Amino acid sequence: MPHTLVLLRHGNSEWNQKNLFTGWVDVRLSELGRTEAARAGELLAESGLLPDVLHTSVLTRAIQTANISLDVADRAWIDVRRTWRLNERHYGALQGLDKAETLEKYGPEQFQLWRRSFDVPPPVLADDAEYSQVGDPRYADLADDELPRTECLKDVIARMLPYWEDGIVPDLAAGKTVLVTAHGNSLRALVKHLDGISDDDIAELNIPTGIPLVYELGDDFMPIAPSRYLDPEAAAAGAAAVAAQGKK
């Protein structure tokens, strides 16, 4: 029996709307994001994909997206696990900066390196900076050297994969349909693993907000068929919009 995994990037956030680098800053969904989350719930229900368990990051925009979509799909009651390991990539000193201004200031090459390269992290965010997460109570259990001050995609994979193995795979193995609500870059990390995308090619992959992406996995918890978005047209348009961010 194949295992069913549904990945869902949170809906448009207040900072997506303002075109700001967000990372671990805990912003909420915009009005548009709430509408997208409700639509995601409709898509799940229409497709008969009923999650048995939710895994989400500890960031409000992913939690809101899960709550709204599961409510619409009449699955608000399912078990939930939250983990910082599914958080967005920590954007370091870029957190809070305007994407268009950053592109203009540093040029397209550096901008693309920071946004999409596999192993070049943005500059470190100082602990006393406005958008630092040091002292945030939700990370109180993390060792100081576990709490990121910046991350590249490689770092995200390193902290996300242990949770995939120990947190998510056991639910899949138990026959549950698993919903993961997370973020553009933490989901890129998971998709890279599942689809075996190379370190170079992953730069071209963008994940749209609010559209469920479904995987059927075999006994080794790797795909047995290509993944599919529940609304492929909207997904293609959404991914193109993410790729173009920064360009006015």
Ligand X SMILES: O=C(O)[C@@H](CO)OP(=O)(O)O
Tell me which DSSP letter residue 116 carries: H
Question: Which residues ranging from 35 to 94 are in contact with ligand X (CB under 6 A)?
Answer: 88, 91
Residues 26-58 as b or e (16 or more Cβ within 10 Å = b): bbebbebbbebbbbbbebbeeeebbbebbbbbb
Q: Binding site annotation covers 229? A: no
Q: Binding site annotation covers 104? A: no
Whether the CB-CB separation of 59 and 85 falls below 8 Å is answered with no
Give the active site residue among 10, 36, 55, 151: 10
The minimum distance between CB 201 and ligand X, in angstroms, equals 16
The minimum distance between CB 13 and ligand X, in angstroms, equals 7
Question: Among residues 55, 61, 85, 115, which is the contact residue for ligand X, using CB under 6 A?
Answer: 115
Question: Which residues ranging from 2 to 41 are in contact with ligand X (CB under 6 A)?
Answer: 16, 21-23
* CB closer to ligand X out of 111 and 215: 111
Whether the CB-CB separation of 212 and 40 falls below 8 Å is answered with yes
Give the active site residue among 3, 36, 55, 88: 88
Q: Binding site annotation covers 55? A: no
Q: Binding site annotation covers 193? A: no
The minimum distance between CB 186 and ligand X, in angstroms, equals 10
The minimum distance between CB 212 and ligand X, in angstroms, equals 18
- Assigned token pair, 228: 């599919």
Q: Binding site annotation covers 185? A: yes
3-state secondary structure of 74: coil
Can you tell me the distance from the alpha carbon of 46 to that of 200, in angstroms, rounded to the nearest whole number? 36
Tell me which DSSP letter residue 224 carries: S
* CB closer to ligand X out of 119 and 165: 119
Q: Residue 69: which residues within 8 A CB-CB, separation 6 or more?
A: 8, 37, 38, 40, 41, 44, 181
* # of chain residues touching ligand X (CB under 6 A): 11
Residues 206-233 as b or e (16 or more Cβ within 10 Å = b): bbbbbbbbbbebeeebebeeebebbbee
Question: Which residues ranging from 172 to 201 are in contact with ligand X (CB under 6 A)?
Answer: 184-185
Q: Is 242 in the site for ligand X (CB under 6 A)?
A: yes
Residue 88 is a catalytic residue: yes
Whether the CB-CB separation of 125 and 149 falls below 8 Å is answered with yes
Give the active site residues. Answer: 10, 88
Residues in contact with ligand X by CB under 6 A are: 16, 21-23, 88, 91, 115, 184-185, 242, 245
